[in-house]
Amino acid sequence: MPLSEEEGAGAPLAAEVVRFVQETLNLGTAVDTCLPEELRGVEGMQQLHATLWGIRRLAWALSRGELRFSTDQRGFVVGALKALQADLRHLTWQAQRIADGEYGHRVHFLGDFSTAFNRMAEQLEKNVRELRERSSRYKELSCRDALTGLLNRRAFMELATRMLEEGRPGVCIMVDIDFFKKINDTYGHSCGDATLRAFARRLRDGLRPGDLCCRYGGEEFLIFLAGATSPDVGRSVAERQRRAVEQLQIPCDGHDLRVTASFGVSGIGEPAEDNDIGRLLEDAVRRADVCLYAAKSAGRNCVEAETGSEPPQAAPRPDAAGTAE
């Protein structure tokens, strides 16, 4: 059908509008262009021009990750871009929370991307949990004697010092298996190891949950009675432990081994604020060791405790770092 005179006159203008829209959408610059002079009088062109550049600016901002960009333009396309912008802002917030260690966050508004994001978050949460558990196990192992499972000396001293720093008194008990070297020489080191493990279990079973026990070195063990107020309390505990050790039977290579132990007890008392806690503990351990050697000198299989702050008199220990048989 032939165009009317009015339609024929408007065809070039429509073509110009189409060309302008296409050029505006495909323009490779981010700088706003002016509306051509010949289109300024066309009804609605000013609004169309503003809408096109509003869409371009918002799309350009999104492509650069500028999620705070805002525009006053309205409409379906702009609204869709704004919705995507809001989702990306929320996703950024979720990612920040995960980065802060809140691994339970999930997203459900970006389709396949949400699925991938949530799988990543779940795997990250699982990996972090496993790493924490592994780290906790390694930390626990680093604090334990490999043979007996008791605390090692370093961990024992750290924990006992921490208790004393909290203002709690305590009592130290130094314990040594009598004639342990003869067990190794007579039955072999495997029986010696079995003896140490069984002896450690017996000591641990005779203590309260809050008390500390470590393998101090060789066949020598150290106990810290948390909250105990005098060496008399330690003497009572040590005597109970001594009798329990006497009842211990250790099967090894067809033999039922029996052992006894000697005990030395020293008190610490309630630390004053100006005390050097580490030195206070080390001194208490030294005095417990003196008491232990006094028990050895008295015939073994007995308990010696200091009276007040004075350890019992005994011949000087020949090797403070070693163990008297």
Q: Is 219 a catalytic residue?
A: yes
Domain co-membership, 160 together with 298: yes
CA max distance for the chain? 131
Which CATH number does the domain housing residue 207 bear? Answer: 3.30.70.270
pLDDT (tens digit per residue) in 52-68: 888 888 888 888 888 88
Domain co-membership, 207 together with 234: yes
Q: Is residue 163 part of a domain?
A: yes
pLDDT (tens digit per residue) in 98-127: 888 888 888 887 788 888 888 888 888 888
Radius of gyration of the chain (CA): 41
pLDDT (tens digit per residue) in 132-146: 777 666 666 578 999
Q: Which residues contact 212 (CB under 8 A, 6 or more apart)?
A: 151, 156, 159, 160, 163, 223, 224, 226
- Regions of the chain short of the pLDDT cut 50: 1-7, 309, 315-316, 318-324
Q: Is residue 30 part of a domain?
A: yes
Domain co-membership, 113 together with 69: no
Q: Is residue 31 part of a domain?
A: yes
**How many structural domains are present in the chain?**
3
SS3 144: strand
Domain co-membership, 157 together with 264: yes
Separation between Cα atoms, residue 311 and residue 210, nearest integer Å? 26
- Can you give the pLDDT at residue 169? 87
Domain co-membership, 168 together with 295: yes
pLDDT (tens digit per residue) in 66-88: 888 888 888 888 888 888 888 88
Q: Is residue 314 part of a domain?
A: no
- Can you give the pLDDT at residue 171? 96
Domain co-membership, 115 together with 165: no
Q: Is residue 288 part of a domain?
A: yes
Element (H, E) at 233: helix 231-246
Domain co-membership, 58 together with 112: no
Domain co-membership, 286 together with 178: yes
Domain co-membership, 113 together with 196: no
Domain co-membership, 31 together with 88: yes
Range of the domain at 11: 5-99
Domain co-membership, 89 together with 39: yes
Domain co-membership, 194 together with 238: yes
Element (H, E) at 133: helix 112-142
Q: Is residue 232 part of a domain?
A: yes
Given 37, 219, 239, 306, the catalytic residue: 219
